[in-house]
Structure 1
Amino acid sequence: MSTRRRVRSGALAFALALLVAGCTGDGSGGVKGTPGAAGLRDPYFPKLGNGGYDVGHYALTLAYDPATGRLDGRAEITAKATQDLSAFNLDLAGLTVSEATVDGAPAAVNRAGNELTLRPREDIDDGAEFRAVVTYGGVPQTLTDADGSKEGWLKTADGALALGQPTGSMAWFPGNHHPADKAAYDITVTVPAGVRALSNGVLTSEKKTADGHTTSVWHTAEPMAGYLATLAIGRYDTSTATALGKVPVLTAADPTVAPQSAALRARLPEILEWETENFGPYPFAAAGAIVERPGDVGYALETQTRPVFPLSSFDTPTLVHELAHQWYGDSVSPASWKDIWLNESFATYAEWLYAEDFENTPAQKSFEKAFADEDAWAFPPADPPAAEDLFGTPVYQRGAMVLHKVRQAVGDDAFYEILAGWPAKHRYGNATTEDFTAYVESVAGEDLQELWDVWLYGDEKPARP
């Protein structure tokens, strides 16, 4: 997570390989559909995500009333079947479904915990595109993660904040919420007079209705994992700029923290310029940041195109970290939550590189500091023991140490080729740890198994850096 620093800031194939297999005979030589899997067997969240289909687009139409805390929503999900489907699941926590249709026809609805099962009137053929529409509402839940952090729908003093890493996006809309299934988004939000609704991507429309409400439409064309979707509702001071000659930048801050955050928010285009020089072309059509009061959220998160920060974490290293995630984690996303170190190692190493370039602190010095931190050696970064460890110190600091050892092994020229080449190779997709190690070795032209064994997978701290 990005910087939940409370210790702490080829993939579709992975998902599809875990689906319930094919079709069964109907006794007459034909076939009939079978239900899609109720989960993708992620090592830490086996019920997260759903099998049998691949989402291409979410159109969310939402209305929120801060006074009552009620959210009313309509989710239109356009997907492609990856098997003959008799039924399929969506992840949804808490909210009540009033109606569901598939391709315009009513669908049977069943709930079991966070699993919402839709059974269409007719089976869906393998390879067919279909459209599911779910109408729902209620007071969204705040979820408590295994490590004690809060996610999902966070009530704030003047509105709400939706954050979804690792599972909280299901608290405010139904969908396929495993990061292996990424999609484009259009999010339309209506809120009462006096507050605004901010989300990912480009603001395409913002209009006041006859009764004084405001309806905003946000468009994200590039594929996005559900956990990176955000919705911020409240009073905000906003600023606009342009980065990289063409990318619109929108930053927003709660009025109580706007003055303190203004100077750093204004530096966002400059930091993006530096990151583009190191990491390759910026992958999205928009950029920005949202800064909240510390009491509204306890950590920063790399929500796509518009990271979220509490004022207490809004500093230069954390901004560098969360913006680096736009390449590492957002554009190229983990194939499973076991691969989260790929996100956090690169974002942490971006901090080290920034300090090297602008603060006269060589990356080697940052490496030595991380090496001396005993918390960094609690477990291998590529193998967190449990869900509560996904955002632990080894994922960040030892993960960055892995990258530094790669840099030492291959030299700066090859290393900087890796920095830009890795997100280019998997742009808008997903990747595994095995994909990464194979890619590094292909660029380096050598076997680095000893490095992986010691630094990435090893249980013991080496005798010296």
Structure 2
Amino acid sequence: MTLSTTTRHRLMGSAATGTAVAMLVATAANAAPTPGAGGIGDPYYPAYGNGGYNVSNYNLFVDYVPTSGRITGTAIITAKATQDLSSFNLDLMLDAKTVTVNGKPAEFAKPDPHELVVKPTLPLANGSTMVVKVTYTGIPSRLSYNGVSPWIGSGTEAIALGEPEIAAWWFPSNDHPRDKATYQMSFSVPKGLEAIGAGDFVGKTSGTTKDVWKWSSSQPMATYLAFMAVGQFDVLTGTMNQRPYTTAITTTRSDSAITRAKADVLRTPEVINWGASQFGPYAFKQVGGVIANQSFGFALETQQRPVYTPDFWEGGTNMYVVVHENAHQWFGDSVSIRNWRDIWLNEGFATYAEFLWSDKKGEGTTNQLLEEYYGAFGGDPTFWKVPISNPGAKNEFNGAVYLRGGMALAALRNVIGEADMTKLLKAWTAAKKGGNASIPEFTAMAERISGKELSPFFYNWLTARTKPAKTAENGFLPARFDGIRPASADIIARNAMMRGAR
């Protein structure tokens, strides 16, 4: 069969087009690897975290020298590439000495004090596992970034402790809650000192001049929840209320605040069991706490073992701070925020736990506390101007995020009922266990479980910059109080304001 000229041209054009498409597909498939992003995408802190990979495990070996305050460390980081990588970043304030990727030396540089840029010998394919080994050193107490210096203390009393940042001051990491990982941590310190960490206590190896303390977290942990506390501690271990605990109490102070703190923190197993009845199963194994000797103005929910300043006990007993930090084991540690703007999911929920504890102890019901704080802050426009669903960078720990946040949940319980509120919190911690979450995800779940349209309620409590109207729709019940002020009101408020003042 003979083809006409027109037909021949049409077929030739089709073939050319097909060849061009095939070439484009091949080019796309073999696109050159690119650098991972220098930030994970958090709008509050663009430099925090990194893109292009997800970490599965950190294996940390840290030597601390009290006389100089110097850390010398080795970090072995196991991660998976999420794109074809020509290079990637780690968050690190200290000085890197050597870097290998999959056993081969890698180029590295620090174009910014906070960023370590690593270029492997060979590019990393999307989906491939990479094992990154970094040796590093530095004196973290001397380092600051954008005016922030989270390292606490020096010499024989030092703590790597902070939020939203601390990891970069003592180990290289993908420093953002969105990239959680498991941990093994070994801390070498001079004999006579203890080194406490997050997770489960594995044991201590004694040497001639130094001891090595080992800690492990088999459950995912955000980088800011990992910590190291070096000092002279009485380390207490045992089992109470079916909960294995490891608690460390400073031995360099013996005042009444320390005595009260010890008595309250040793009740942590009781608090965890109560929390399980309210929020669902405890996600971890061990429980405990660390009572430092220093005044640093806050406590932090470091995983399985919160760290407390004795300041919280200067005025008397304070079980509420223990309840707050251990409620974070559900809200913040097991269920971590997606971005720092979601901080209400941590702090509002832990404050609400204080309301529930007050109710349990007969020191003021959740409704009484809602009414008390509504009245106490009714004339304070600054309290109501903070949109707690988006408080702003460096304002995550404003006192309103805590108290208005707790009030919002007390009001929500009035709107949807106590049974649905308990069902909601347990469903939330089960669905998001070990992962991350955002405020819109919680509000959507609240609507599903309650069967109610709650958008106006959440807007009024979380986003509006004015005091919510005192209506049933906003969670206020008809007043039936006898005028007695809740006994817990001052201590819960004082705890919130202490944290907010840091």
Q: Same fold (TM over 0.5)?
A: yes
Contact 2:69–2:155 under 8 Å retained in 1: no
SS in structure 2 at match of 1:232:
strand
Amino acid at match of 1:401: M
- How many Å separate the matches in 1 of 2:413 and 2:448? 14
Give the Cα separation in 2 of the matches to 1:27 and 1:129: 24
Q: SS where residue 317 of structure 1 aligns? A: helix
- What is the alpha-carbon distance in structure 1 between the residues aligned to residue 241 and residue 81 of structure 2? 39
Are the equivalent residues in 1 in contact too, given 2:447–2:453 (CA < 8 A)?
yes
Q: 2:174 maps to what in 1?
A: 176
- Residue 230 in 1 paired to residue 230 in 2? no
Query: 1:117-156 deviations in whole A, cap 9, x for unaligned?
Result: 100001111111110000000111366698x8852x2224
2:440 is the alignment partner of 1:434: yes
Letter in 1 for 2:421: F
5 Å-filtered alignment, 1:167-246, equals 167-209=165-207, 211-245=208-242
Give 1:302's aligned residue.
301
Match of residue 127 from structure 1: 127
Counterpart in 2 of 1:361? 364
CA distance in 2, matches of 1:364, 1:324: 20
C-alpha deviation, 1:236, in angstroms: 0.3
Show the counterpart of 2:164: 166
Residue 100 of structure 1 aligns with which residue? 99
SS of the aligned residue for 1:405 comes to helix
- Structure 2 CA distance, aligned partners of 1:235 and 1:293? 9
CA contact (8 A) 1:292 1:309 kept: yes
- The answer to whether the aligner puts 1:252 opposite 2:255 as a matched pair is no
The superposition leaves residues 205-227 of structure 1 with CA deviations (integer Å, 9 ceiling, x where unpaired) of 31111x32101111100000001
SS at 1:141's partner residue?
helix
CA pair 106-406 structure 1, distance change in 2 beyond 3 A: same
Aligned partners of 2:412 and 2:56: how far apart in 1?
36
Please state if 1:383 is matched with 2:390: yes
Contact 2:68 2:155 in 1 (8 A): no
For residues 235 and 308 of structure 1, what CA distance do their matches in structure 2 show? 15
The answer to whether the 8 A contact 1:238-1:250 is kept is yes
Paired AA for residue 182 in structure 2: A
Deviation at 1:26, TM superposition (A): 9.9
Q: Which moved more, 1:114-123 or 1:361-370?
A: 361-370
Which whole-Å deviations, capped at 9, do the CAs of 1:96-125 have from their partners, x for residues lacking one? 111000000000001022111100001111
Tell me which residue corresponds to 2:498. none
Deviations 1:270-308 (CA, angstroms, capped at 9, x unpaired): 11111111111111111110011243x221111111101
Residue equivalent to 1:392: 398
**Cα 1:442–1:59 shift into 2, 3 Å:** same
The structure having more radius of gyration, on CA atoms, is 2
AA aligned opposite 1:201: G
Q: Deviations over 1:418-453 (max 9, x none)?
A: 122211110000000111111111111121111012
Letter in 1 for 2:330: W
Q: Could you tell me the TM-score, scaled by structure 1's length? A: 0.90
**Structure with larger RCO (C-alpha < 8 A, sep 6+):** 1
In 2, distance between residues paired with 1:222 and 1:243? 22
> How many residue pairs were aligned?
435
1:278–1:249 CA distance, 2 compared to 1 (3 A): same
Counterparts of 1:208 and 1:311 in 2: how far apart (Å)? 30
Shift of the 453–368 alpha-carbon distance from structure 1 to 2, 3 Å rule, reads: same
User: How do residues 106-121 of structure 1 correspond to structure 2 at under 5 angstroms?
Assistant: 106-113=105-112, 114-121=114-121
Measured in 2, the distance between the counterparts of 1:30 and 1:362 equals 63
The one-letter code of the counterpart of 1:117 is: V
Q: Supply the distance in 2 between the matched residues of 1:294 and 1:150 (Cα, whole angstroms).
A: 16
Are residue 317 (structure 1) and residue 313 (structure 2) matched? no
Contact in 2 for aligned 1:33/1:86 (Cα 8 Å):
yes
User: Is 252-261 or 447-456 further displaced after alignment?
Assistant: 252-261
Deviation for aligned residue 1:29: 7.0
Tell me if the contact between 2:336 and 2:437 (Cα under 8 Å) persists in the aligned partners: yes
AA at the equivalent of 1:365: Q
TM-score (norm 2): 0.83
Q: Where do 1:286-297 residues align within 5 Å? A: 286-295=286-295, 297=296
Q: Which residue of 2 aligns with 1:16?
A: none
What stretches of structure 1 of length at least 5 have no aligned partner? 1-23
* Structure 1 residues 69-108: aligned runs within 5 Å: 69-93=69-93, 95-108=94-107
What are the Cα deviations for residues 172-218 of structure 1, in whole angstroms up to 9, with x where unaligned?
00100011000000001110011011101112231111x32101111
Cα shift readout 1:240-262 (whole Å, capped 9, x = no counterpart): 232452x3211111111454433
Residue of structure 2 equivalent to 1:17: none
Distance 2:349 2:145 in 1: 24
State the match for 2:16 in structure 1: none
The equivalent residue for 2:452 is 446
- Does the residue aligned with 2:127 lie in a helix, a strand or coil? coil
Contact kept, 8 Å, 1:206 with 1:216, in 2: the verdict is: yes
1:325-384 CA distance string (max 9 Å, x none): 000000000000000111001100000000011033111111122223235313111011
User: Identical aligned pairs, as a percentage?
Assistant: 39
Runs of 5+ unmatched residues, structure 2: 1-23, 471-475, 477-502
Residue 18 of structure 1 is matched in structure 2 by: none
In 2, Cα distance between equivalents of 1:167 and 1:203:
24
Change (3 A) 1:150 1:117: closer
Structure 1 residues 289 and 220, CA gap change in structure 2 (3 angstroms): same
State the secondary structure of the residue aligned to 1:206.
strand
In structure 2, relative to structure 1, the CA distance for the partners of 1:349 and 1:27 (3 Å cut) is: closer
CA distance in 1 between partners of 2:106 and 2:385 (Å)? 48
Q: Matched residues in 2 for 1:34 and 1:402: separation? A: 45
Displacement of 1:28 after TM fit?
Answer: 9.9
In structure 2, the CA distance between the partners of 1:324 and 1:149, relative to structure 1 (3 Å rule), is farther
- Shift in alpha-carbon separation, 1:142–1:199, aligned structure 2, 3 A: farther
- Give the letter for the 1:391 counterpart: F
Structure-2 change in CA distance of 1:415 and 1:182 (3 Å): same
Where 1:221 maps in the other structure, the secondary structure is strand
Amino acid in structure 2 at the alignment position of 1:337: W
Single out whichever of 251-260 and 73-82 deviates more from structure 2.
251-260
SS at 1:453 equivalent = helix
**Secondary structure of the residue that 1:31 maps to in structure 2?**
coil
Quote the Cα distance in structure 1 between the aligned partners of 2:442 and 2:402.
16
